């Protein structure tokens, strides 16, 4: 055969092969419009603000307008009516900038201006009279052309006399002196070492840690890519700032290790003596997992220094583990000796600062026997298909194809912190049934993903009317009834979609309390026990508590003669029962009791373990009972399965429940139904409490050292007169406050001083009948009006706490 014929035949065979491949690809993808790809780089611009040489509050952009009331993250000082804005374009062309100013509750729009073709640096003038008399919200909108708008949010406040530069300089000096272990720079004198500090770890260091831990021991830290500065709070008494950065430290198994760090400061500047003081300090560091270095030894997977417990899931035979460290999800397969980076926003091929924004949280939902892992990403999406959006993305990692497939995305318009707090209660995906369950504002939704069908299972629930198991696999809720209970409860197993009912006798009511593993804990109340709280609200406590297993068998009963259960708290293997006794119609709190969970945790041959070394101190390891022989694993990076039309779901906006939000250490820490619970939580972290409309309810500090309510004598006398006439305190406070009041039960007297300092009298119950009205304080005592006599008296804070102990420290604001 001639060479020309050979070439012709080869060409024909090649053409046939190409056609065959294309045809096969068509067949295999027919009806399945998807492909695999990398997540892709971030594309949005960012903005920040310059202040006396500092770059502050770098903001990430949002793909749509957000719920302004929820966008409570950074706060930016405006000096002499001017705000210096920096725009980091990242290759985008900015056609225009629109900036608007709103009241915190978004009810008032106070300014609306547009700048055409803004440069990278621009000064925004806010000289309108009265514009910054209060804290406001600034919304910036960049027009990138072709109808693409990117939105940015920060609170703003008049910072002309806030001494911000002194505070920032102090923080920078402390931060750099601690990094460099600079003796005599004031770090040692500023901190307050005590037994509260854990001096066995660098993962979490506080103002109560010793000097060696605050100054990084012998780790020799070096910051990489610079610090990102965020002002979180500013008021007349203090300024709170959080630094975020990556730091490279001296290692042990490796020459160096890389960490992600959050460092929080609360400081106060006193101009009279020109001195700045450290009020609070909190630093966390988490070692980033780098499989190109030594991450395995004969005992297991080395995770290094971590700030908290590490979420992980193990398959049935204990050969595969998925774990989350540094907001990255990893999978290690011992059988194949492979490590896969399943999900990360920050692990891009470049060092783009936009990928480092830590406004999201990963959660493991489930792992099957093969090691396939279902997980969720809550919060702000840094890059990828949903860049600039907030919500919940549910993914499945297929270990055989080494790919990650997005199953559904829940789209919201609320801040990342609110997404984590609200949707993290329940957003569960059932792989086998392709079904998503979501609890949002007291409404439980069931969403069939493939059919795109949404069903409301139950709605209108308060927090006390439903409960979710810790692993998210079980839910229980009232089908009807009110806050005092229901005739039947429904228990839903989200793993298989099966439901069962818990019922009671005709004269009884049921209340869902919680879960011990998959065993359901509920309370039983009798209709005849209806009574009232110390401050006059109607209540129906439970006379017994039962624990029921998955087969509806009651396996434990708690019942004590003459004692009633108000509610229950679950933590680890302990159930705390908050109890009360009844006197006439009134229930008064008494000492709590406890139920210990004796159910043993299912053991696996892979488990999380702590160990310590001299240099890095406490570290974490996923220990393999049978050890690991091969310590040089293959590193994989799964592709993401992309669909032409990914499944995106939104849920109807329910009427928001009244809640109190606690912010502290630079983050939204939690939401609470009662003001007293929120105040106690905020006090523990020197934080703030705001209502759902962003009204300030409580702050640590930010009050005068002494105060007396002097211009509300008529209101105080009105309260006293009504209370003296035996009118229930709750009704009294509702009458003078437009139908609402704050339940501050459980607070200490000292925690109530902020409210009194804002001219808000507080009713303190001495028992179920007698009350006093708190109307003033100084540096050691509180002043009250005796309801019976009308006399004013002062007692030390501790004495008032003792006086109200008989009512369970019941206060109404």
Beta carbons of 47 and 392 less than 8 angstroms apart: no
Q: In this predicted structure, what is the pLDDT of residue 223?
A: 97
Q: In this predicted structure, what is the pLDDT of residue 237?
A: 87
Q: How many helices (H) and strands (E) does the chain have?
A: 10, 56
Give every CB contact of residue 763 below 8 A, 6+ residues apart in sequence. 535, 719, 723, 729, 732, 733, 771, 772, 773, 774, 811, 812, 813
Query: Two tokens at 566?
Result: 């108000």
- Residue 340, classified by CB atoms within 10 Å of its CB into exposed (0-12), middle (13-18) or buried (19+), is buried
Running DSSP on this structure, what letter comes out for residue 463? G
Query: Two tokens at 572?
Result: 């680890």
Instruction: Return d(Cα 744, Cα 807) in angstroms, integer.
Output: 12
Query: Two tokens at 771?
Result: 């009350």
CA-wise closest residue to 383 among 344, 440, 337: 344
Instruction: Return d(Cα 761, Cα 813) in angstroms, integer.
Output: 7
Query: Two tokens at 246?
Result: 């990556």
Alpha carbon 27 to its chain centroid, in Å, reads 46
Instruction: Return d(Cα 573, Cα 209) in angstroms, integer.
Output: 29
Query: Two tokens at 346?
Result: 């920050």
Q: What is the 3-state secondary structure (H, E, C) of 389-434?
A: CEEEEEEEEECCCCEEEEEEEEEECCCHHHHHHHHCCCEEEECCCC
Q: In this predicted structure, what is the pLDDT of residue 422?
A: 82
Query: Two tokens at 608?
Result: 């999380």
Q: What is the pTM of this model?
A: 0.90
DSSP letters, 37-49, are E--------EEEE
Q: Collapsing DSSP states into helix, strand and coil, what is residue 511? A: strand
Beta carbons of 232 and 243 less than 8 angstroms apart: no
φ/ψ (deg, to 5) at 50: -105, 140
Q: Which H or E run contains 292?
A: none
How many angstroms separate the most distant Cα atoms in the chain? 122
Instruction: Return d(Cα 365, Cα 394) in angstroms, integer.
Output: 9
Q: Are strands 82-88 and 554-558 parallel, antiparallel or unpaired?
A: unpaired
Alpha carbon 257 to its chain centroid, in Å, reads 27
Instruction: Return d(Cα 445, Cα 453) in angstroms, integer.
Output: 10
Beta carbons of 251 and 302 less than 8 angstroms apart: no
CA-wise closest residue to 439 among 415, 459, 420, 414: 459
Query: Two tokens at 490?
Result: 């429904």
Q: Which residues pair with 108 in a beta bridge?
A: none
Query: Two tokens at 394?
Result: 């549910």
Beta carbons of 130 and 81 less than 8 angstroms apart: no
Beta carbons of 230 and 250 less than 8 angstroms apart: no
pLDDT block averages, 10 residues each, the chain of length 813 = 41 41 36 57 95 95 95 94 96 96 94 95 91 95 95 95 94 97 89 95 97 97 96 93 97 96 96 95 96 93 94 94 95 94 79 88 94 95 93 94 93 92 84 90 90 90 90 89 88 92 93 93 95 90 95 94 94 89 91 81 84 97 91 87 75 75 93 93 93 91 88 89 92 88 93 94 92 94 94 95 92 93
């Amino acid at each position: 055969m001639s060479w020309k014929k050979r070439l012709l035949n080869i060409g024909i065979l090649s053409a046939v092969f190409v056609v065959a491949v294309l045809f096969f690809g068509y067949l295999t993808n027919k009806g399945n419009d998807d492909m695999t790809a990398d997540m892709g780089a971030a594309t949005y611009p960012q903005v920040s603000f310059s202040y006396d040489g500092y770059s502050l509050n770098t903001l990430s952009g949002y793909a749509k307008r957000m719920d302004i009331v929820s966008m409570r993250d950074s706060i930016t000082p405006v000096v002499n009516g001017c705000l210096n804005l920096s725009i980091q374009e990242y290759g985008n062309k900015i056609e225009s900038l629109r900036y608007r100013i709103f009241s915190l509750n978004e009810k008032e729009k106070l300014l609306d201006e547009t700048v055409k073709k803004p440069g990278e640096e621009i000064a925004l003038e806010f000289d309108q009279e009265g514009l910054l008399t209060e804290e406001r919200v600034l919304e910036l909108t960049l027009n990138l052309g072709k109808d693409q708008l990117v939105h940015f949010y920060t609170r703003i406040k008049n910072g002309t006399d806030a001494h911000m530069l002194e505070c920032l300089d102090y923080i920078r000096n402390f931060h750099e002196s601690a990094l460099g272990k600079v003796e005599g720079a004031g770090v040692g004198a500023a901190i307050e070492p005590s037994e509260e500090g854990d001096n066995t770890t660098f993962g979490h260091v506080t103002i109560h840690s010793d000097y060696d831990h605050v100054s990084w021991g012998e780790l020799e830290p070096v910051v990489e890519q610079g610090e990102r500065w965020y002002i979180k709070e500013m008021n007349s008494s203090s300024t709170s700032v959080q630094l975020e950065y990556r730091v490279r430290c001296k290692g042990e198994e490796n020459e160096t290790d890389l960490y992600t760090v959050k460092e929080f400061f609360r400081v106060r500047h006193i101009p009279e003596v020109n001195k700045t003081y450290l009020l609070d300090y909190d630093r966390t560091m988490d070692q980033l997992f780098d499989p190109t270095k030594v991450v395995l030894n004969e005992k297991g997977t080395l995770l290094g220094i971590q700030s908290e417990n590490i979420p992980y899931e193990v398959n049935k035979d204990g050969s595969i583990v998925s774990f989350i460290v540094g907001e990255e999800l990893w999978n290690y397969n011992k059988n194949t000796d492979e490590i896969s980076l399943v999900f990360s926003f920050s692990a891009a091929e470049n060092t783009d600062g936009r990928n480092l924004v830590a406004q999201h949280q990963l959660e493991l939902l489930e792992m099957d026997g093969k090691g396939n892992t279902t997980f969720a990403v809550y919060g702000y999406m840094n890059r990828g298909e949903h860049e600039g959006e907030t919500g919940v993305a549910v993914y499945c990692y297929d270990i055989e194809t080494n790919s990650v497939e997005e199953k559904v995305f829940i789209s919201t318009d609320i801040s990342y912190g609110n997404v984590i707090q609200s949707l993290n209660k329940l957003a569960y995906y059932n792989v086998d049934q392709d079904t998503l369950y979501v609890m949002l504002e007291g409404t439980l939704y069931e969403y069939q993903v493939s059919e795109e069908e949404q069903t409301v299972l139950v709605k209108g629930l308060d927090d006390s009317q439903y409960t979710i198991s810790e692993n998210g696999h079980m839910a229980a809720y009232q089908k009807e009834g009110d806050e005092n209970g229901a005739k039947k409860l429904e228990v839903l197993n989200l793993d298989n979609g099966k439901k069962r009912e818990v019922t009671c006798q005709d004269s009884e009511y049921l209340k869902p309390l919680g879960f011990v593993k998959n065993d359901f804990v509920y309370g039983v109340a009798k209709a005849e026990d209806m009574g009232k709280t110390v401050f006059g609200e109607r209540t129906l406590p439970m006379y017994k508590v039962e624990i029921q297993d998955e087969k509806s068998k009651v396996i434990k009963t708690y019942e004590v003669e003459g004692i009633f259960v108000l509610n229950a708290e679950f933590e680890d293997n302990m159930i705390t029962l908050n109890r009360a006794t009844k006197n006439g119609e009134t229930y008064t709190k008494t000492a709590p009791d406890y139920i210990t969970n004796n159910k043993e945790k299912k053991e696996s041959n892979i488990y999380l373990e702590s160990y310590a070394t001299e240099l890095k101190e406490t570290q974490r390891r996923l220990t393999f009972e049978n050890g690991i022989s091969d310590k040089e694993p293959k590193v994989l990076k799964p592709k993401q399965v992309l669909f032409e039309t990914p499944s995106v779901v939104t849920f109807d906006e329910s009427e928001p429940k009244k809640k109190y939000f606690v912010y502290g250490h630079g983050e939204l820490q939690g939401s609470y139904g009662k003001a007293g619970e929120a105040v106690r939580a905020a006090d523990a972290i020197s934080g703030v409490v705001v209502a759902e409309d962003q009204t300030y309810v409580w702050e640590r500090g930010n009050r005068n050292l002494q105060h007396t309510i002097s211009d509300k004598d008529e209101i105080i006398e009105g309260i006293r007169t009504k209370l003296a006439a035996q009118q229930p305190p709750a009704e009294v406070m509702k009458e003078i406050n437009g139908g609402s009041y704050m339940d501050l039960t459980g607070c200490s007297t000292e925690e109530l001083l902020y409210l009194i300092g804002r001219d808000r009298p507080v009713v303190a119950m001495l028992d179920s009948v007698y009350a006093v009205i708190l109307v003033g304080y100084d540096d050691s005592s509180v002043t009250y009006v005796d309801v019976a006599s009308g006399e004013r008296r002062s007692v030390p804070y501790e004495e008032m706490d003792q006086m109200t102990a008989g009512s369970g420290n019941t206060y109404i604001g």
